[in-house]
Amino acid sequence: WRYKDIRGWWENPHHERRNGTRDAQPTAWIPASKPIWFTEFGCAAIAMGANEPNVFPDAKSGSAGIPRFSTGGRNDLVQYRTLLEQLRWWDNGEPGLPLDRNPVSPVYGGAMLEPSNMFAWAWDARPFPAFPQATDLWSDGANWQTGHWLNGRLGGCPADELIAAIAADNSAAFEVIDCDGFVDGFASPGLVPARASLEPLTALHALSHDENAQGMNLRGKAYGELVAIDPADLVGEDGEPVMLRDRQQESELPREAELAHVSVFNGHEAVLSCSRRLTSGAERIVSMDVPVVLAPSVATGIMDARLRDRWIGRETLTIGLSSKYLALVAGDHVRFSGTIDGLWQITTIEDGAWRKVSLVRIEQFEETAAKTSDIHVRQSQRSDYGQPVFHVMNLPLLPQDTTAHVHVAVAAIPFARQYAVHAAPGNTGFTLRGIVTRNAVTGSLLEPLPAGPEGRFDERNRLRVRLLGGELSSVPQSLLFNGANAAAIRTPTGEWEIVQFANAGLQPDGSWLLSSLLRAQLGSDDAMREGHEAGADFVLLDEAVTSIPV
């Protein structure tokens, strides 16, 4: 079975397989009779995501995972390039690709798959950055970090495209721009030469550069030309070594690398993202200040790579080469035959009677995927809190109560993270008595509630309530008799009747109808006999109601 052979499926007859045997008679399908639509195509923003574009991490799903050979870190560039290449491949107007990859139907005269019939997964109606950061509102926010979401990501730019745009703005000539990297934004320093604009980016992404008659070349470590050098070809002055190999002491190396940048979250505030080598005895810190917009986790991943560069690059070589190696340029990669191990990158070349070449040890394929997450479970940061509804209830004491206290309920839309309760014997001298941290379910009666029977269900009267917020639910009698669904209703004189209800039904107008009532609970029979008028306060007695000692 060739699951990805879309063209083969589209342009050939279809034969059913019954019990593993192929039917000789084809189905009614007419080859190339209908266009193909991609109702979803995409890739998770995760390292090696294109290996398995349908796989995504989700701690709450048993079928989730990470793609084959992935480290599990965030990588927006993989997602961007996967989407771009999918669109390029199926666009018949794209030059340099096989002409028969997307054939035209002889039946309807159109392409097998039109790019306009491809729908990228996934756009989310929830606004960025409220989603994914407001995890108190949306519990799937943590999945955004390496998921398929395009919100807050697709507006970014690959480093090679950004460099090309800066070069075009400055009329600078570039022959080659080969690099990886992805940023959410970049602030140009103004009217300065292209090289000055690009220096922060080249340092951030560890790009090598050289120039020729055609212009400048910028290359990441993954794109350097590999050259094999025989140590027998090394040359030098008489009596001088043909190779100098140096290794820095650990005390000379950095323990920490830090990047000052702008965060894509929290109102584009300036932040400092750091990578630290915990096992090092070194004390030095390498600092970079780049006018770039990044998520802090992404910036930390890049700094991890730059710190590794310093430690791997503690070994350097200086060699002499003849004109046989005239084609070498800065940024090329070198391997030596024989006993000189490792991969080396040319940093500088000085030409004279022979070529003096300086090299540094490198890892060609660096890992910059973000290992940490920018999304943490927290309360959403708001300033537009609603006016709270505040109830102080003098409820009957329970047998196990040893001290006198009042019960406080606070309801607001939106609800702040906490409300402080202060008390005083007069107009001054207020002291803190407690903190309310949960939004209470409160409301008011829409109809009068007369007195009812005690010690048995009140099936005659029903309670009609309009809630400020929250919801109610029915419970079985076993839970009802254990104290569930208790509510307090204020009388005209300020007393509170405790009522329990077994059934709660949401009405078409948004109100709630409560029935199968247990009246005058906890000795509140005097309040029950008063009855309740329409508009009386209603408070659900659940965990949101806070006890305050008096």
In this prediction, residue 428 carries a pLDDT of 84
In this prediction, residue 490 carries a pLDDT of 95
Has residue 179 been placed in a domain?
no
Q: Do 524 and 402 share a structural domain?
A: yes
Q: Which residues of the chain have pLDDT under 50?
A: 380
In this prediction, residue 182 carries a pLDDT of 96
In the chain, the number of structural domains is: 3
Encoded tokens for 345: 């990158």
End-to-end CA distance of the chain: 76
Q: Do 134 and 57 share a structural domain?
A: yes
Q: Do 356 and 422 share a structural domain?
A: no
Our CA dihedral for 468, 470, 472, 473, rounded to 10 degrees, sits at: 160
Encoded tokens for 264: 């894509």
| C-alpha–C-alpha distance, residues 544 and 440, integer Å | 5
Per DSSP, the residues of 374-430 read: S--------S-PPPPEEEEE-PPPPTT--S-EEEEEEE-SSPPS-EEEEE-SSSS--
In this prediction, residue 116 carries a pLDDT of 95
Has residue 10 been placed in a domain?
yes
Per DSSP, the residues of 249-275 read: -GGGSEEEEEEEEEESSTTT-EEEEEE
Phi, psi of 464 (to 5 degrees): -110, 120
Q: Do 408 and 344 share a structural domain?
A: no
Where b means 16+ CB within 10 Å and e means fewer, 55-92 reads: bbbeeeeeeeebbeebeebbbbbbbbbbbeebeeebbe
Quick check: 504 and 456 in contact, CB under 8 A?
A: no
Q: Do 392 and 352 share a structural domain?
A: no
Has residue 530 been placed in a domain?
yes
- Among the candidates 122, 155, 188, a domain finishes at 155
Structural domain harbouring 285: 222-362
Q: Do 504 and 397 share a structural domain?
A: yes
Quick check: 464 and 511 in contact, CB under 8 A?
A: yes
Has residue 197 been placed in a domain?
no
Encoded tokens for 530: 């008063």
pTM of this prediction? 0.69
Phi, psi of 66 (to 5 degrees): -125, 155
| C-alpha–C-alpha distance, residues 330 and 349, integer Å | 7
**Prior bond to 98 cis, omega within 30?**
no
Q: Do 470 and 537 share a structural domain?
A: yes
Has residue 419 been placed in a domain?
yes
Strands (E) across 468-511 are located at 486-490, 496-506
In this prediction, residue 378 carries a pLDDT of 56
In this prediction, residue 383 carries a pLDDT of 59
Q: Do 149 and 19 share a structural domain?
A: yes
Q: Do 487 and 453 share a structural domain?
A: yes
Has residue 533 been placed in a domain?
yes
Q: Do 411 and 333 share a structural domain?
A: no
- What are the distances in angstroms from CA 391 to CA 19, 150, 520, 539? 70, 45, 20, 8
CA–chain centroid gap for 12, Å, is: 42
Nearest alpha-carbon partner for 417 in 432, 439, 434 = 439
Q: Do 132 and 1 share a structural domain?
A: yes
Q: Do 284 and 394 share a structural domain?
A: no
- Among the candidates 155, 173, 199, a domain finishes at 155
